[in-house]
A = this chain, B = another copy of it.
Amino acid sequence: MVTIALDAMGGDNAPKAEVEGAIQAARSLPVKVILVGREDVLKRELDQQDWSGLPIEIKHASEVITMEDAAAKAMRAKRDSSIRVASRLVRDGAAQGVVSAGNTGAVMATAKMVQGMVPGVDRPALASAFPTLTGRPVVVVDVGANVDCDARLLAQFAVMGDIYSRVIFKTDRPKVGLLSIGEEEHKGNDLTRSATPLLKSLPLNFVGNVEGRDIYSGATDVIVCDGFVGNVALKVSEGLVDVFKHMLQESLKATLTRQLGYVLSRSAFADFKKRVDYSEFGGAPLLGVRGVCIISHGRSTPKAIKNAIRVAAEFAGARINQHIEDELARWTTTNGNGAHA
């Protein structure tokens, strides 16, 4: 059975959402969950639920890094933070993956320092799987870990995203696109123009520039971009989901006929919400660190936490970061001019 260390103090709804999510995961999935955080707080929260017989443990950590903390400073000051203790469990082999809904910068810096990097990768990248019209998710890398990038980092994102798509979604020869503002090669910014020749030189199925509207079309399997742009794309999408739900409900409620339509269509809403709901997707893997690290949304619900634990277990089983290491090592041998040259 896979063991996942859960930073139980990180999210906006911590520790309640984390504890409930852990219970849901331990009940429905073949995983053991180690809740990491203040023992007394977690014990009290757990005891409000029925968790008898479930594979759940508590590991004490005395400190918490908040959303307001500057990542680097908090890392130095809080050596017994819940995220750091959770990350150590992975480093020491007591867990195969860590899940946190906490301060993204701090989680990333901690995973990088404590778990260590895959050789050949300069900086870990946050990947997110977006739903598409084709039903096959598209992997977008990076969605917030690296806000100022160079061409070499984008090339590493492409390599990692390609492996993610192949290993997790079983995509054969994933189509890799570069997020830009026009399909033509000259349309973009300094970064995309400098990344294009490097991406072309890699042994990937690189299809050139794609635009923001192509993310959801499913025309590509992997899209690379700097983490600032990827994060904006992700959050614009979240915001728009809320707007659509609101607008549609208003429109449907506006007349009596529509009220009837609304009642009849209610079950359709449930499907719809499920397909676009961020919590269904269960967090974003941090690619390029040793072991597994899944970063969940700060506002994660228990269901989102449960799904993040599911994703962590899946990544641990697939040994994705080992695949990245092997691939980069293979390229070094055959091609000195690769993404990590």
By a beta-carbon cutoff of 8 Å, the part of chain A in contact with chain B is 67-68, 70, 105, 131-133, 144, 147-148, 179-181, 184, 186-190, 211-217, 225-229, 231-244, 246-248, 251-252, 254-255, 257-258, 260-265, 267-269, 271-272, 275-276
Contacts and interface: CB of A to CB of B under 8 A. Distances in A.
Contacts of A254: 268, 271
7 contacts: A144-B181, A213-B242, A215-B236, A237-B240, A247-B275, A261-B261, A261-B265
Interface SS majority for chain A: helix
A243 B257 CA distance: 26
Given A213-B239, A247-B276, A254-B271, A181 B264 contact: no
A70 B187 CA distance: 9
A234 B212 contact: yes
Given A179-B232, A181-B228, A268 B246 contact: no
Contacts of A180: 228
Given A213-B242, A237-B240, A239-B214, A228 B264 contact: no
A232 B68 CA distance: 28
Nearest to A187: B105
B228 A189 contact: yes
Nearest to A298: B182
A171 to B, nearest CB: 20
A272 B251 contact: yes
Contact of A232 (B70, B232, B257): B232
B232 A212 contact: yes
A181 to B, nearest CB: 4
B233 A216 contact: no
